[in-house]
Amino acid sequence: MNWLEGQWHDGRSSRAHAVRLELDGSGGLRILAADGGPERLWPLHEIELGARIGATPRVLRRAGHGQVECPDSPLLAQWFPRPASRVEAMADWLERRRLAILVAALGTALFAFAFLRVGVPWFALRIAERTPEAVEVEVSRQAILLLERTHLRPSELPQARRRELRGRFADLVRGEPRYERMRLRFVQAPALGPNAFALPDGRIYLTDALVKLAGDDEEILAVLAHEAGHHVHRHGIRQAIESSSVLLVVGLLFGDVSGSSLAVALPAVLLSSGYSRGHEREADAHALQLLRSRGIPEQAFASIMRRLSAEIPDGIERGPMGYLSTHPPTPERIEAAERASDRQPRRD
C-alpha cells in the first residue's frame, strides 16, 4: 500500500473532505477527493509536516491551501525524509510511554509541592527581611482597624496592673532583635478568649482573659516571649507573603491577578491565615530560650499552655493570628517545653 487516507480542510470552512494521498512521480503529493472532486497536487517542499505526538493525527499544511490530517504512517517518513528535532523526538517518546507520563506528572506535582513548601517560604523570608518598616506599619494599621471593628474592646485591667506588666515585658524583651519596636497592648476580646497576638509593626496584644487565666506573671511572660518570637522572626509578614504567593499562583493559573488587589488583600490575609506549624515551633523555641536567658523557668510555658488547652471553651474562634489561631497547644508543644525545663514535669 503506498497511499494514505485523510481529511482535507480548505481552511475556510469547518467541513472536512475525505481524500486519498499518494506520491506523484514529479515530486509532489497528489490529493484525490474521495467524492470525485477536483484533484490537487502539492509540491512536497511547500508542505509543512506537523510533529508526531503519540497517537494524534499527523497534519500536513500548505500555506494558503488548507491542511490535510491523516493517521501516522511509515509512508510519511518516506515522503518527508528529514531529521526529527530532539524536542519532537523526546515528546514523542514520552507520549508513547505511560510510565514516563506518570513519572513526568508525578515530577511536576512534586516540584509544585516543593516550590510551595520550600521555595515560597524561602522567598517570603527574603522579602520580609527587605520589607520597609512603613509597609509593616501600614499593613498592621489596616489589620487592627478590621479587628477593632469586629473583635476588640478597651481593656478593663486596672492601670497599675498594666504598668506592672508593661515593665516586666520591657525587661523581658530588652536587647532582643527589633525589641525597640515591641509594644504591649491590652484589650478585651470575648470572641478570642484567652489570647495574644503580634502585629508585624511590633505591637503585641494581650487579652484580659489571658491575664486572668494565667497562674502568675511568669506564665504571661511565657506567652509574650512566644509572641516576641513571632515579631523577631517576622512571621506575620512572612505568613502573609506565603499565603499571598499561593493566591498569586492560583491567580496566575486562573488568570485573575493584579498587584493592587493583592495589596488590598494583604491585611485580610494577615488576619485570616494564622501561622504555620513551622513558625509556631520557631516562636516556641525562641520563647523557651528567651525565658531561660532571663532566669524564668520554662515550666511556666508548659503551665500556661496546659491551662489554655484545658480552659478554652468549645466553639471559640481560634483566629485571628492568635495564640490559638492554627491549633491549640498540643501535647507535643507542652512536652517540648517540659523537656527544656530543669524542673520535673508537673503531673495534673
In the complex, which residues of this chain contact Zn ion (CB under 5 A)?
Answer: 280, 283
For 141, other C-beta atoms within 10 Å of its C-beta total: 13
Tell me the DSSP string of 167-189: HHHHHHHTTSTTGGG-EEEEEE-
Pairing label, strands 153-154, 67-70: unpaired
In this complex, which beta carbon is closest to Zn ion, that of residue 283 or of residue 288? 283
Give me the least distance between CB of 143 and Zn ion, in Å please: 16
CB 180 within 8 A of CB 235: no
How many CA atoms lie less than 13 Å away from 90 in the CB half-sphere? 4
Count of positions (residues) in the chain: 348
Distance of CA 268 to the CA centre of its chain: 16
In this complex, which beta carbon is closest to Zn ion, that of residue 6 or of residue 202? 202
In this complex, which beta carbon is closest to Zn ion, that of residue 186 or of residue 323? 323
Angle between helices 277-293 and 299-311 (to 10 degrees): 140
**CA separation for the pair 85, 83 (Å, rounded):** 6
In this complex, which beta carbon is closest to Zn ion, that of residue 67 or of residue 303? 303
Give me the least distance between CB of 285 and Zn ion, in Å please: 12
Query: What's the start-to-end Cα distance of the chain, in Å?
Result: 88
Give me the least distance between CB of 196 and Zn ion, in Å please: 8
Give me the least distance between CB of 152 and Zn ion, in Å please: 18
In this complex, which beta carbon is closest to Zn ion, that of residue 280 or of residue 338? 280
Give me the least distance between CB of 133 and Zn ion, in Å please: 22
Angle between helices 235-254 and 259-273 (to 10 degrees): 130
Give me the least distance between CB of 113 and Zn ion, in Å please: 25
Nearest CA to 18 out of 39, 32, 2, 3 is that of: 32
In this complex, which beta carbon is closest to Zn ion, that of residue 280 or of residue 298? 280
